[in-house]
Structure 1
Amino acid sequence: MAQPTPAASGLVGRRAERDALERLLTAARGGRSGAVVVRGEAGIGKTALLDLARGLATGSGFRVESATGVEAETQFAYAGLHQLCEPLLDRTAALPEPQRTALEVAFGRRSGAAPDRFLVGLATLSLLATVAEEGPLLCLVDDAHWLDPASAQVLTFVARRVTAERLALVFTQREPCAGLPELHLDGLGEADARTLLNSAVNAPLDDRVRDRIVDEARGNPLALLELPRNVPPARLAGGFERPDVVSVPRRVESSFQSRSGCLPAGTQLLLLTAAAEPTGDVALLWRAAAELGLDRAAADPAEAAGLLEIGRRVLFRHPLVRSAVYRAASWPDRRRAHGALAAATDPHADPDRRAWHRAQAVLGADEQVAAELERSAGRACARGGSAAAAAFLQQAAELTPEPTQRARRALAAAHAKHETGAFEAARELLTTAAAGPLDALARARLELLRAQLEAQLNRGREATGMLLDAARTLGPLDPALARETYLQAFEASVESGRLADDHGWLAAARTAPPPPGSPRAADLLLDGLTTRFLQGYVAAVPPLRKALEMLRMDGDRRWLGLAGHIALMLWDDEAIHALAEVMPAAAIPPYEHDGSADGSLALPELIEAAVRAGQHERAAAALEQLSLRARASGTPWALGLEARSRALLTSGPAAEKHYREAVDHLEHCRVAIDLARARLVYGEWLRREGRRHDAREQLRLAHELLSGLGAEAFAERAARELRATGEHPRRRTAGPADDLTAHELHIAQLVATGATSQEVAAQLFLSPRTIESHLRKIFRKLGITSRRQLKDLRLVPRSGNQPVS
Structure 2
Amino acid sequence: MVEIIGRDELISALDALIGAAVDGQGAAVVLRGEAGIGKTVLLEHAVRAGRERGLRVLSVTGVQAEGEIPYAGLDQLLRPVRSVAAAVESPYRRAVEVLGLLGDSGEAVLLAVEDAHWLDAETWETLTFLGRRVGSDRIALVMAVRDGEDIDLRLAAAGLPELRLEPLPDADAGALLDRTAPGLVPPLRARVLDEAAGNPLGVVELGSAAARSGSSALLPSSLPLSTRVERTFAGLVAELPPLTRQLLLIAALNDGSNLDEIRAAGAVLTGAEVPTEAIQPAVTSRLVTVDEQYEVRFRHPLLRSALRQQAAPGDRRRVHEALAAVLADSPARRLWHRASAVPGRDEALARELTAVAADAMQRHTVAFALAAANRAVQLSEDPAARARRQIWAVHAAHEQGDPDTARRILAEIDDQDLRPADRVRVVFMRDHYFPGASSGPERLLSYAGMIRTMHEGGDHEAATQAMCDVALGVYYSNAPAHVRDQLVEATLALGLDEDDPRLTGILGQIAPVEHGAAAVERLRQLLLRTDIPPTWRADLTVAAWAVGAFDVAAALGLSSVADLRRQGRIGTLSVSLSAAAAAHASLGDTRSALPLAAESIALATEIGQRTWVLGGHLITAQAEALRGETDSARRRADAAEQALSAARRFPMLALVQRARGLAALAEGHAEDAFRQFMRVFDPADTMYFPNQQLHLLGHLAEAAVLGGLLEELRPVADAMEPVAERSQSPALRVGYGYARAVLTGDYEKALADDLTAWPFDRARLQLTYGSALRRAYKITESRPLLREAATTFDTLGATPWADRARAELRATGETRRRPMDALDALTPQEQQIARLAADGLSNREIGERLFLSPRTVSTHLYRIYPKVNVRSRAELARILVSSGAA
So what's the TM-score if we normalise by structure 1?
A: 0.73
SS of alignment partner, residue 747 of structure 1: helix
| Cα distance in 2 between the residues matched to 1:210 and 1:679 | 90
- Conserved 8 A contact 2:795-2:885: no
What is the Cα-based RMSD across aligned positions, in Å?
Answer: 5.3
2:100 to 98, 123, 126: 126
TM superposition shift of 1:385: 4.7
How is 1:556-575 mapped onto 2 (pairs within 5 angstroms)? Answer: 556-557=534-535, 560=538, 563-564=541-542, 566-570=544-548, 572-573=550-551, 575=553
Letter of the structure 1 residue corresponding to residue 321 of structure 2: G
Question: For residues 707 and 236 of structure 1, what CA distance do their matches in structure 2 show?
Answer: 82
| 1:365-444 aligned within 5 A | 365-366=345-346, 369-370=349-350, 373-374=353-354, 376-377=356-357, 380-381=360-361, 384-396=364-376, 399=379, 403=382, 407-408=384-385, 411-420=388-397, 421=403, 422-423=405-406, 426-427=409-410, 430-431=413-414, 434=417, 444=421
Give the share of equivalent positions with the same residue, in percent.
Answer: 27
Structure 2 counterpart of 1:62, from 55, 63, 70 = 55
Deviates more, 1:79-88 or 1:622-631: 622-631
Pairing of 1:373-522 with structure 2 (within 5 A): 373-374=353-354, 376-377=356-357, 380-381=360-361, 384-396=364-376, 399=379, 403=382, 407-408=384-385, 411-420=388-397, 421=403, 422-423=405-406, 426-427=409-410, 430-431=413-414, 434=417, 444=421, 447-458=424-435, 464=444, 467-475=447-455, 477=458, 482-494=463-475, 498-501=477-480, 503-504=482-483, 506-510=485-489, 512-513=492-493, 515=495, 517=497, 519-522=499-502
Aligned partner of 1:71 in structure 2 is 64
Is the aligned partner of 1:22 residue 2:13? no
Q: Give the Cα separation in 2 of the matches to 1:235 and 1:619.
A: 94
Give a deviation string over 1:638-688, Cα, whole Å, max 9, x none: 5665466567x75xxx66959x979999996477xx899999999999999
Give the secondary structure class of the aligned counterpart of 2:28. Answer: strand
**2:252 corresponds to:** 275
Change (3 A) 1:718 1:45: farther
Match of 2:578 among 587, 608, 612: 587
AA aligned to 1:61 is: G
Structure 1 residues 213 and 633: CA distance shift in structure 2, 3 A? farther
Aligned to 1:41: 33
Number of residue pairs matched by the alignment: 737
Correspondence for 1:6: 4
Alpha carbons of structure 1 residues 324 and 553: separation in structure 2 relative to 1, 3 Å: same
TM-aligned CA deviation for residue 415 of structure 1: 0.7
- 529, 532, 541: which one aligns with 2:520: 541
Secondary structure of 2:255's aligned partner: coil
8 Å contact 2:22–2:138 — kept in the other structure? no
Q: Tell me: CA distance 1:143–1:530, structure 2 relative to 1, closer, same or farther (3 Å).
A: same
CA distance in 2, matches of 1:24, 1:468: 58
1:341 paired to 2:313: no
* Uncovered stretches (5+) of structure 1, i.e. residues with no partner: 93-102, 107-114, 245-249
2:504·2:540 contact (CA, 8 Å) conserved in 1? Answer: no
Change (3 A) 1:382 1:657: closer
Spell out the pairing of 1:240-251 with structure 2 (5 A cutoff).
243=222, 251=225
2:333 to 353, 364, 379: 353
Measured against aligned partners, the alpha-carbon deviations of 1:672-717 in whole angstroms (never above 9, x if no partner) come to xx8999999999999999999999x989x99997999799xx89x9
| AA at the equivalent of 2:298 | F
Instruction: Describe the superposition over 1:520-563 as per-residue Cα deviations: whole angstroms up to 9, x where unpaired.
Output: 21022234456646x3655653345555x378862431562573
Closer, same or farther in 2 for the Cα pair 1:412/1:486, shift >3 Å?
same
| Alpha-carbon distance, 1:226 to partner | 4.5
Partner of 2:68, secondary structure, is coil
Q: SS at 1:184's partner residue? A: strand
| Aligned 8 A contact 2:234 2:307 in 1 | yes
User: Do the aligned partners of 2:59 and 2:113 also contact (CA within 8 Å) in 1?
Assistant: yes
In structure 1, the residue corresponding to 2:59 is in which secondary structure?
A: strand
The one-character-per-residue Cα deviations of 1:254-295 (angstroms, maximum 9, x if unpaired) are 422443145328465544332211311212222333444488
**d(CA) in 2 for partners of 1:539, 1:381:** 33
Q: Deviations over 1:689-746 (max 9, x none)?
A: 9999999x989x99997999799xx89x989x99xx9x9x999654455555444444
The 5 A counterparts of 1:88-487 are 88-89=81-82, 103-105=85-87, 120-130=94-104, 132-133=105-106, 135-162=107-134, 165-173=137-145, 174-175=151-152, 176=155, 181-187=160-166, 190=169, 193-194=172-173, 197-198=176-177, 201-203=180-182, 221-226=200-205, 228-229=207-208, 243=222, 251-261=225-235, 263-264=237-238, 266=242, 270-293=247-270, 299=279, 302-303=282-283, 306-311=286-291, 312-343=294-325, 345-346=326-327, 348-366=328-346, 369-370=349-350, 373-374=353-354, 376-377=356-357, 380-381=360-361, 384-396=364-376, 399=379, 403=382, 407-408=384-385, 411-420=388-397, 421=403, 422-423=405-406, 426-427=409-410, 430-431=413-414, 434=417, 444=421, 447-458=424-435, 464=444, 467-475=447-455, 477=458, 482-487=463-468
SS at match of 1:274: helix
State the match for 1:51 in structure 2: 44
The 1:506/1:551 distance shift into structure 2, 3 A limit, reads farther
Q: Which moved more, 1:227-236 or 1:42-51?
A: 227-236
- 8 A contact 2:508–2:544 mirrored in 1: no
SS of 1:411's partner is helix
CA displacement, residues 472-530 of structure 1 (integer Å, 9 cap, x when unaligned): 23546465654443333434545xx6452484453143252375556221022234456
Contact 1:65 1:138 in 2 (8 A): yes
Q: 1:444 to 1:235 in 2, by over 3 A?
A: same
Structure 2: give runs of 5+ residues left out of the alignment: 146-150, 398-402, 562-572, 580-611, 616-648, 655-688
1:375 shift after superposition: 5.7
What amino acid is aligned across from residue 264 of structure 1 in structure 2?
A
Would the aligned equivalents of 2:516 and 2:728 in 1 still touch at CA under 8 Å? no
2:694–2:731 contact (8 Å) kept in structure 1: no
Which residue, 673, 680, 690 being the options, matches 1:596? 690
Alpha carbons of structure 1 residues 528 and 230: separation in structure 2 relative to 1, 3 Å: same
Does the 8 A contact of 1:373 with 1:395 survive in 2?
yes
Partner of 1:86: 79
Determine if contact 2:509/2:542 at 8 Å carries over to the other structure: no
Query: What is the Cα deviation at residue 329 of structure 1?
Result: 4.0
Corresponding letter in the other structure for 1:51? E
Residue 697 of structure 2 contacts residue 735 of structure 2 at CA under 8 Å; is this kept in 1?
no
Partner Cα distance (2:707, 2:205) in 1: 74
SS in 2 for 1:72: helix
2:251 alignment partner AA: A
Structure 1 pair 614/556, CA: closer, same or farther in 2 (3 Å)? same
Distance 2:716 2:324 in 1: 71
The one-letter code matched in structure 1 to 2:471 is F
> 1:752 — aligned with what?
838
Q: Decide whether the 8 Å contact of 1:390 with 1:414 is kept in 2.
A: no
Deviation per residue, 1:357-411 (Å, 9 max, x gap): 233333345566556545654565466554544444454455566x5xx744652
Are the counterparts in 2 of residues 394 and 413 from structure 1 also a CA contact under 8 Å? Answer: yes
CA shift in 2, pair 1:372/1:634, >3 Å: closer
Partner of 2:58, secondary structure, is: strand
| Structure 2 CA distance for partners of 1:792 and 1:327, relative to 1, 3 Å | same
1:572 is displaced (CA, Å) by 0.5
| Whole-Å separation in 1 of the counterparts to 2:849 and 2:379 | 46
Whether contact under 8 Å (2:265, 2:322) holds in the other structure is: yes
Structure 1 residues 773 and 543, CA gap change in structure 2 (3 angstroms): same
Secondary structure at 1:575's aligned position in 2? Answer: helix
Contact 1:269 1:333 survives alignment (8 Å): no
Q: Distance in 2 between matches of 1:625 and 1:220?
A: 76
